[in-house]
């Protein structure tokens, strides 16, 4: 096994590393994570390494993006295993602050993004995007990377981050990493580990049903009809609930009723108390 990457836990140590690297003419990339790393995360490191000299990975389970009754307490924390996985990548530094470093006593600023957060995950998880936008703002200011990368599995999160980076003119390139899928097509996620064998089998249907919707809409089916069919099929396949199946504009995430060119379908379906997110592009041939 390769040597484990160096871990720093303070903003001061992070900045010292970044400043020294910049003095040597190196560019910096940040891969923000909450740990419990899987091959989706590792692909983000591979991707950002094509754009910058030095990828830094942050690991921080951010309390402010979890709602009441969500899995903050039980979210998997496996730092040693994460470091062993990172040892096999180009990661040069791991930034793993504790909650006090990120939210010191007296901290009272929240970054709240309007518009795009008013639907889908924003409605299903009130306050979630405030927590994400706040912690990602802090991470970007603490590290000051040239680029940062986020997975497209959390498609709305990526859109929210792009929005506040543009609005606040944060000097960083935001990159999106394609969804990494398991052999049955299930989008890689740290929360997949919560599923039983039976639940995991049902979960594998999500991408299949979504791909069917994409084909139907691209072939000219009514969007409303395709959304309803996908919802019914998910429930019939064994999902306990479907939070939404929504065909939206890929940039604004506004609902779309007629797809003329490109669109995106976003979904969240629940099984065994786990919310599974997925999304796919819809391209209509001209
Ligand atoms: O996608 C995640 O893992 C988290 O939402 C992020 C971007 C690391 C912020 O806590």
Instruction: Give the pLDDT of residue 43.
Output: 98
Question: Closest ligand 1 atom, CA of 58?
Answer: 8
Instruction: Give the pLDDT of residue 285.
Output: 80
Instruction: Give the pLDDT of residue 180.
Output: 98
Cα(284) to ligand 1 centroid in Å equals 31
CB of 154 within 6 A of ligand 1: the answer is yes
Q: What is the CA radius of gyration of the chain?
A: 19
Instruction: Give the pLDDT of residue 223.
Output: 97
Question: Closest ligand 1 atom, CA of 161?
Answer: 7
Instruction: Give the pLDDT of residue 69.
Output: 93
User: What is each CA distance from 20 to 16, 88, 95, in whole angstroms?
Assistant: 6, 24, 16
Instruction: Give the pLDDT of residue 19.
Output: 98
Q: Is the pTM of this model over 0.95?
A: yes
Residue 199's contacts (CB-CB under 8 Å, 6 or more residues apart) are: 271, 272, 274
Query: Contact 263/217 with Cβ under 8 angstroms?
Result: yes
Q: Could you give the residue numbers annotated as active site?
A: 41
Q: Which residue minimizes the CA distance to atom 3 of ligand 1? A: 33
CB of 199 within 6 A of ligand 1: the answer is no
Query: Contact 64/181 with Cβ under 8 angstroms?
Result: no
Instruction: Please report how many Cα atoms fall inside a 13 Å half-sphere around the Cα of residue 233, on the Cβ side.
Output: 17
Cα(17) to ligand 1 centroid in Å equals 22
Mind listing the domains of the chain with CATH numbers? 7-177 (3.40.50.620), 190-280 (3.30.1300.10)
CB of 40 within 6 A of ligand 1: the answer is no
Mutation to probe ligand 1, out of 141, 150, 155, 188 (largest number of atoms < 8 A from CB): 150
Mutation to probe ligand 1, out of 44, 66, 117, 132 (largest number of atoms < 8 A from CB): 132
- Give the helix/strand (H/E) hosting 196: none
Instruction: Give the pLDDT of residue 120.
Output: 97
Segments in the chain below pLDDT 50: none
């Amino acid at each position: 096994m390769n040597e484990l990457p160096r871990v720093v836990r303070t903003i001061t140590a992070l900045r010292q590393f970044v400043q020294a690297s910049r003095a040597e003419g190196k560019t910096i990339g940040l891969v923000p994570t909450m740990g419990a790393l899987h091959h989706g995360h590792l692909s983000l490191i591979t991707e950002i390494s094509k754009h910058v000299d030095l990828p830094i990975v942050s690991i921080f389970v951010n309390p402010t993006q979890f709602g009441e009754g969500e899995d903050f307490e039980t979210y998997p924390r496996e730092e040693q295993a994460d470091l062993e996985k990172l040892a096999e990548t180009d990661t040069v530094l791991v930034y793993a602050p504790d909650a006090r470093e990120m939210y010191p006593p007296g901290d009272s600023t929240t970054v709240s993004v309007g518009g795009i957060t008013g639907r889908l995950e924003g409605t299903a998880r009130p306050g979630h995007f405030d927590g994400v936008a706040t912690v990602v703002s802090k991470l970007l200011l603490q590290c000051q990377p040239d680029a940062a990368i986020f997975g497209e599995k959390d498609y709305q999160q990526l859109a929210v981050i792009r929005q506040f980076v543009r609005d606040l003119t944060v000097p960083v390139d935001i990159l999106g990493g394609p969804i990494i899928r398991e052999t049955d097509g299930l989008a890689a996620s740290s929360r997949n580990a919560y599923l039983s064998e039976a639940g995991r089998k049902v979960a594998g249907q999500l991408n299949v049903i979504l791909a069917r919707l994409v084909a139907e809409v691209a072939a000219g089916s009514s969007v409303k009809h395709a959304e309803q069919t996908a919802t019914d099929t998910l429930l019939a396949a064994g999902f306990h609930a479907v939070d939404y199946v929504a065909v939206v504009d890929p940039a604004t995430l506004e609902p779309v009723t007629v797809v003329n060119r490109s669109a995106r379908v976003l979904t969240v379906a629940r099984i065994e108390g786990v919310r599974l997110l997925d999304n796919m592009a819809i391209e209509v041939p001209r």
